[in-house]
Amino acid sequence: MDSYDSQATVEKIKQQIAENPILLYMKGSPKLPSCGFSSQASQAIMACGQQFAYVDILQNPDIRAELPNYADWPTFPQLWVDGELVGGCDIILEMFQQGELQPLLTETAEKYADDSTAE
């Protein structure tokens, strides 16, 4: 029997994605990643110079269990930008190397920075 409410977990995931324009689901934290893929992904994102939110799935086993189904993406880390799943470590690194990640994150950060100053 599951010790958590999967519907409530999905709602929590949706809320996190809605509230954080740049969100990384990872193992550990950007400063103390718990797996190589999460480490590489968070370093690439940090190198782009924009603030981002993260969720440590090791501290949130309910999210760890539900997110792959919700996202239709089986592995972690997962980068979500502006409500859309960008992908995992390979895609993040590929976009970073091709110069696609930084403009995406910068545009998203600026878009939401504008939102917060709107009256």
Which of 69, 63, 74, 55 shows the shortest CA–CA distance to 4?
A: 63
Q: Is residue 41 within 8 Å of residue 89, measured between CB atoms?
A: yes
Give the distance, in angstroms, between the CA of residue 94 and the centroid of all CA atoms in the same chain.
16
Structure-token pair, residue 54: 């993260």
Structural domains present in the chain: 6-94 (3.40.30.10)
- Mean pLDDT per 10-residue section of the chain, whose length is 119 residues: 79 98 98 97 98 97 97 97 98 98 97 68
pTM: 0.92
Nearest-10 crossing angle of helices 36-47, 101-117: 60
Q: What is the pLDDT of residue 114?
A: 75
Task: Tell me phi and psi for residue 79, to 5 degrees.
Answer: -105, 125
